[in-house]
Amino acid sequence: MNLTDWLLTPPERGNPATHLDRRRPGGTAWSEGNDARPVVHGAAYFAELLERIDAQRAGDLLLFTDWRGDPDERLGRHHPGRDGTGRHGTEIGTVLARAAERGVIVKGLIWRSHLDSLHFSQTENLHLGEEIEKAGGECLLDMRMRPGGSHHQKLAVLRHPGRPRLDIAYVGGIDLCHNRNDDRSHAGDPQSTAMAEAYGPHPPWHDVQLALRGPVVGDVEAVFRERWQDPAPLSRSPITRLREFLHHEDTEADSLPPQLPDPEPCGTHTVQVLRTYPNRLLRGYPFAPDGERSIARGYLKALRRARALIYLEDQYLWSPRVVACFAHALRVNPGLRLIAVIPSLPEQDGRLTLPMNLIGRISALDRLRRAGGPRVAVYGLENHAGTPVYVHAKVCVIDDVWATVGSDNINLRSWTHDSELSCVVLDDAPDPRAPCDPGGLGDGARGFARRLRLELSREHLDLDDDPVPPGTSGERHPAADALCDPAAAFHAFAAAAADLDAWYADGCRGPRPPGRLRGYRPPDLAATSRVLATPLHHLLVDPDGRPLRLRRRNAF
């Protein structure tokens, strides 16, 4: 396998200002010899993060970025406290403050957020920062974005001077906040915030994070350091700056200790770190003066080699201008299939917000289906109680070779406007199960990509090793290894969703069929709703952060 067939070279990243591609001799734009491990579900991630933070000691380094941070969200969930919300003393604010008090160097960047009256998290993010600062750490509220944008990266880096074998980084879609602490049962997080009524009081939540060991830890740390060292003020808003002054907020980043050497190689995974930064107005980022769109460019390059199966899990999957590259791949490769797992319903169901969220998805899926016809299959998820599962994961696997997990969604906002972080993983180790080369281009099926796709598929099809869920018929789909074949996987998803849809259509008579998949059918929007929702969608929901010259050509 030629790595440059799948990964971006430094010129292809399109951002010569970043330090990321100058860290290694020869300017290699990726790191080799890593161990990348998917951590599926927030409960698994939170439990692991809690254990690793609590093991840090004086002089160790803890860096993190987040879109939202709820200081009272409990990382420990498996030993319920008196109120049933998790183990006391494991609140994220308490855990980070405790680390800072014992001498761990704690540094955080959290998006300042828009007003709480607009259903954002300004107050929560402010309070988390205050807890950390009082304990001796430092947490800045970062609004260095385009108007209407957000810092959406979710990373954590834990370094241990003198103990590099413990160094680890986490990258993915899971925020340190309410709703995320769910597990494979998808009963929801006991500490929940309100969403659309259909998701119930504790919305079931599906998400994925990557645990990274090896040289790539240094790359993720470099991403944090570039943002931390940005000399621009945290906000240009006069009102926000007045609030910072009145509340005595920390607005100046203290210096970081020198970056340690990268950890030694420890695995078979080549990992490339990709980002989105917008074309920031007035003064650009020093590390991305024209923005960076390497996530979009990474997809564009990988999709040119897609031949058998694109497997997607995505929170949004909207914007026809973004899915155009997926549609092109489907048109030119008649054997290519696409499976997409998305939320059955948007997170908001207001009279105005619902059409604003739906219009982009309706038009995007229409474009995909016109390109691929029956080779495009889109599904929602539900738990065994029949409650929809909110899909927050951002995962793509192409031909069991190229796999990415990150914070980015398939839309213009993630590809051009907000800050995002994603990791592409290519495994040096092949997967020996047939078909050995699904794409037929000589790359071979790769261990990491195939295992990730199968782990997610087994859960959705109820093919995991757990007992048959109560109330189901006990019937099983073909053995998990059969899902290695793209066509078999495509048909297994279709059959499971059809069985469950038919069971509902028949009034839920008899045992519930196994599986959690429901066929997704976009709702019809009235013409008036479409006319009103379309401009609001482009302006507020899915804005474009590209320079004008790229917008004109729909290029990235």
The angle formed by the CA atoms of residues 175, 424 and 7, to the nearest 5 degrees, is 150
Per-residue confidence (pLDDT) for residue 553, from 0 to 100:
93
pLDDT over threshold 90, residue 156: yes
pLDDT class for 253, splitting at 50, 70, 90? very high
CB atoms within 10 A of CB 250: 16
The residue type of 245 is F
Domains of the chain: 30-269 (3.30.870.10)
CA separation (Å) from 552 to 14, 146, 546, 548, 556? 18, 19, 10, 6, 11
The pLDDT tens digits of the residues spanning 418-455 come to 999 999 999 999 999 999 999 999 999 999 999 999 99
How deeply is 241 buried, as exposed, middle or buried, from its count of CB atoms within 10 A (0-12, 13-18, 19+)?
middle
Count CA atoms within 13 Å of residue 437 on its CB side: 7
**Is residue 505 left, alpha or beta, with left meaning phi > 0 and alpha meaning psi from -120 to 50?**
alpha
For residues 115 and 511, which has the higher predicted lDDT (pLDDT)? 511
Per-residue confidence (pLDDT) for residue 46, from 0 to 100:
98
Distance, first Cα to last Cα, the chain:
26
The angle formed by the CA atoms of residues 346, 280 and 233, to the nearest 5 degrees, is 105
Element housing 96 (H / E): helix 92-101
pLDDT over threshold 50, residue 126: yes
How deeply is 24 buried, as exposed, middle or buried, from its count of CB atoms within 10 A (0-12, 13-18, 19+)?
middle
Spatial contact of 522 and 362, defined as CB atoms under 8 Å apart:
yes
Spatial contact of 53 and 158, defined as CB atoms under 8 Å apart:
yes
pLDDT class for 353, splitting at 50, 70, 90? confident
Helix (H, G, I), strand (E, B) or coil at 399: coil
How deeply is 521 buried, as exposed, middle or buried, from its count of CB atoms within 10 A (0-12, 13-18, 19+)?
exposed
The pLDDT tens digits of the residues spanning 283-300 come to 899 999 999 999 999 999
The pLDDT tens digits of the residues spanning 157-211 come to 999 999 999 999 999 999 999 999 999 999 999 999 999 999 999 999 999 999 9
Per-residue confidence (pLDDT) for residue 472, from 0 to 100:
44
The residue type of 350 is G
The set of residues, in sequence order, having a beta carbon less than 8 Å from that of 502 and lying 6+ positions away, is none
The pLDDT tens digits of the residues spanning 30-65 come to 999 999 999 999 999 999 999 999 999 999 999 999
pLDDT over threshold 70, residue 521: yes
The angle formed by the CA atoms of residues 176, 177 and 179, to the nearest 5 degrees, is 125
pLDDT over threshold 60, residue 121: no
pLDDT over threshold 90, residue 25: no
Spatial contact of 276 and 419, defined as CB atoms under 8 Å apart:
yes
CB atoms within 10 A of CB 368: 21
The pLDDT tens digits of the residues spanning 80-108 come to 444 445 678 999 999 999 999 999 999 99
Residue 310: strand pairing partners: 338, 398
Per-residue confidence (pLDDT) for residue 82, from 0 to 100:
41
Which of 1, 33, 31 lies closest to 268, judged by CA?
33
For the chain, percent helix, then strand, then coil, each to nearest 5? 35, 20, 45
The pLDDT tens digits of the residues spanning 321-346 come to 999 999 999 999 999 999 999 999 99
pLDDT class for 243, splitting at 50, 70, 90? confident
The set of residues, in sequence order, having a beta carbon less than 8 Å from that of 51 and lying 6+ positions away, is none
How deeply is 509 buried, as exposed, middle or buried, from its count of CB atoms within 10 A (0-12, 13-18, 19+)?
exposed
For residues 236 and 256, which has the higher predicted lDDT (pLDDT)? 256
CA separation (Å) from 270 to 31, 141, 336? 6, 33, 25
Could you tell me how many helices (H) and strands (E) the chain has, helices first?
A: 14, 18
Per-residue confidence (pLDDT) for residue 385, from 0 to 100:
97
Query: How many Å apart are CA 93 and CA 507, to the nearest integer?
Result: 47
Which of 552, 255, 143, 204 lies closest to 382, judged by CA?
204
Per-residue confidence (pLDDT) for residue 120, from 0 to 100:
46
Per-residue confidence (pLDDT) for residue 124, from 0 to 100:
59
Query: How many Å apart are CA 218 and CA 13, to the nearest integer?
Result: 18
CB atoms within 10 A of CB 353: 18
Spatial contact of 344 and 358, defined as CB atoms under 8 Å apart:
no
What is the residue-averaged pLDDT of the chain?
92
Per-residue confidence (pLDDT) for residue 418, from 0 to 100:
97
